[in-house]
A and B are shown apart, each in its own frame.
Chain A
Amino acid sequence: MGVTARDVMDTDFRTVRPENTIAEAVKAFKQASEQRRQKVFGLMVTDARGLLVGMLSLYDMLLLMRPKNIHIWGEMRDIDVTGFIEEACRRARAIRVGDVMTEEVVTITPDTHLLMIVDIMIRKHIRRLPVVDGGKVIGIVYTSTIFYELMERLAG
């Protein structure tokens, strides 16, 4: 069978709920980063039954923080915008995860082959893939993990 997602997936992961606020998600991001000892850029979103309902990624957070009208006032470089980032953060903290998460999430199963995972990550520009078994999340595979797994094998 060879190496599959089961062999490389991270089973010690954190999730957030759609009803959580962004402030709570930020805490989860920090805790997940401490847990993995490296910065985490995406969290899986699960419902009360543990079923995967979305992913909250770095890109989702950037979209949230981007001001709605910046294409108009961004050119007004003579305006002092001190304190505006703090205000944008204050507004964002109360937003619900479910309103900004990405719902269409590509997943794999524990039996997905390592090279198949590589193919999915390249084709779909994905940096992390939830591993789902019977609808429930049982792990996550990161590009960095795949990269080092391949490095080990390439080193012979």
Chain B
Amino acid sequence: MAVIDRGSALSGLTVAQAMRKLICRLSRGATIQQAIRHTVKYKINAVLIHDERSEAVGVVSKVNILGGYYAGLPITAPVDAIMVSPPLFCRVDNSLDSVLDHMRRARVQRLYVVGEEPRKVIGVLAYADILGMLYKFCHECKHRTLRELEADCPKKVADEFRVGELMTTTFRAHEEDDSLFQIMETMSANRLRTVLIKGRDGLHRGVVTTTDLTLAYLHGVPASTTARSVMSGPARTCAYGERLIEAVKKMIFWDLDSLYVHKEGAADIVGVVTLAEVARVRSGSCRACMISRIDLNE
């Protein structure tokens, strides 16, 4: 049972309480095409690869899939050709504090969970799962950063924050005539999952996401094609001075994990705000918790 003490909402919580039991996996003989279909269908970023003894041998993420696209591999090629090996594991009885530290050091967002038998995966633990779960624990925590402020205020203090206070400026833009090759290079160099697409007039036309690119690969679109032909649009934005609660609603409404932030007019994009960051702030998670100290992109 979880015990909230010493200012850390994570105390007493183990991997077993946060992990998912649904594991998306493929055998190492499966094709890249099958891996793409799995990521699209299950709305996930990576697929576990196992051998004939059902032991986990690797992971294929959307980044690895795009590596195959960039290199010109046919989608019928085996996942063996692009998988990263070995997968990173944690144990079902590990503390969440320790696995978050593991994720931060390895700069990954997911670990595969094993029990007594090594390499026999029984679950998967993603950073987002921990964020969601910790939301309710931090909400009840006596060390919650917003508790004192809210005692004197009928409104939810976190929602009075403005988007501009939370956004980051780590976004990149491309022109709609740029090739998918160029976009993949930008994504890879900057560890981005979305690139903003602008017209020659400087106005944004849409976005290209890793999902758009994997689908382009699946549907046989050459990587020399322009961004215009695969971009999804429009780019979803919120205003720099907009209240956080409104930005959250937009992300939920459009099922997005981030929004572009505009300042003067809709065309003036100045940053990005993520659902993960908003969730952390709304939870009131304090510096005592590893959850507030982790930055996987650092």
Contacts and interface: CB of A to CB of B under 8 A. Distances in A.
A60 interface: yes
B41 A73 contact: no
Contacts of B128: 69, 71-72
Interface string A95-130: 000011001000000000000000000000000000
A75 B255 contact: no
Contacts of A79: 245, 248-249, 252
Contacts of A88: 255
Nearest to B130: A71
Given A63-B41, A75-B136, A69 B255 contact: yes
Contacts of A91: 255
Given A71-B128, A71-B132, A79-B248, A87 B253 contact: yes
B156 A103 contact: no
A52 to B, nearest CB: 16
Interface residues of A, number: 25
B124 to A, nearest CB: 12
B252 A75 contact: no
B37 A99 contact: yes
With a 10 A CB-CB cut-off, give which of B43, B133, B252 has the most chain A CB atoms. B252
B8 to A, nearest CB: 18
Nearest to A60: B41
B40 A99 contact: yes
Interface in A14-36: none
Interface in A57-108: 60, 63-64, 66-69, 71-76, 78-81, 83-84, 87-88, 91, 99-100, 103
B279 A87 contact: no
Contact of B279 (A63, A68, A76, A83): A76
A88 B275 CA distance: 18
A76 B135 contact: yes
**Chain B residues touching A, majority SS:** helix
Interface string B233-274: 000000000000100110111111100000000000000000
A72 B291 CA distance: 13
B129 interface: yes
Contacts of B106: none
A98 to B, nearest CB: 9
B276 interface: yes
A73 B276 CA distance: 9
A68 B37 CA distance: 15
Interface string B31-43: 0001001001111
B282 interface: yes
Nearest to A91: B255
B13 interface: no
A91 B43 CA distance: 14
B254 A74 contact: no
Nearest to B276: A72
B215 interface: yes
Nearest to B252: A73
Contacts of A84: 252-253
A73 B215 CA distance: 26
Interface string B116-149: 0000000000101101110110000000000000
A78 B136 CA distance: 12
A78 B253 CA distance: 15
With a 10 A CB-CB cut-off, give which of B40, B215, B248, B249 has the most chain A CB atoms. B249
Question: Which 7 residue pairs of A and B lie closest in terms of their CB atoms, listed nearest first?
Answer: A75-B135, A71-B132, A68-B43, A72-B132, A67-B255, A75-B136, A72-B279
27 contacts: A60-B41, A63-B41, A63-B42, A66-B43, A67-B252, A68-B43, A68-B257, A69-B251, A69-B255, A69-B256, A71-B129, A71-B131, A72-B275, A72-B276, A73-B251, A73-B252, A73-B279, A75-B132, A75-B135, A76-B135, A76-B279, A79-B248, A79-B249, A81-B249, A84-B252, A99-B41, A100-B41
